[in-house]
Amino acid sequence: MRLKKSVAKLLSHERVCRVATAGKSALHAVPVCHVLEGGRLYFGSDRTSIKVRNLQKDPRIAVVVDLYAEDWDLLRGAMIHGTAKLIRGGPQFRKIRTLLYKKYPQYPGEAALDESGSVIVEVTPVHVSAWGVD
């Protein structure tokens, strides 16, 4: 599925999104730092994190980016339902890591993504809901 330009712009510019995964006994939702590239959303994670363990068993994922305002006429956001692929290393891992490091300069020093202990999660949108964006 192709993202509308207004949704892609929102996803590209915002700094944090929230991802939800399904575990055996509970749902798991956490904020992550992301990049958008080629119509797919990417974020890094430790290989042993709960979200990665959940995605290994069930690749379905939900992602929300939203902007709150006291004036509810200004609320904006998008929710993506999609499928996740875990990238464990190689050229694509390094390419996305470079994009993450460019968007978030603190990443290398605070939460470096190394191929031995990290994964890049690639989210392919299947369904998108948006509000407040053209």
Residue by residue, pLDDT tens for the chain (134 residues) are 899 999 999 999 999 999 999 998 899 999 999 999 999 999 999 999 999 999 999 999 999 999 999 999 999 999 999 999 999 999 999 999 999 999 999 999 998 999 999 999 999 999 999 999 97
CA atoms lying within 13 Å on the CB side of residue 27: 8
The domain segmentation of the chain, as residue ranges, is: 5-131
Phi, psi of 16 (to 5 degrees): -135, 140
Stated pTM of the model: 0.96
Residue 33's nearest CA partner among 22, 24, 46, 44 is 44
Q: Exposed, middle or buried, 73 (CB in 10 Å: 0-12/13-18/19+)?
A: exposed
For residue 18, which phi and psi values (nearest 5 degrees)?
A: -115, 135
Query: Which residue(s) pair with 129 in the sheet?
Result: 79
Pick the CATH number of 5-131 from 2.60.40.10, 1.10.3720.10, 3.60.21.10, 2.30.110.10: 2.30.110.10
Continuous segment of H or E residues that includes residue 73: none
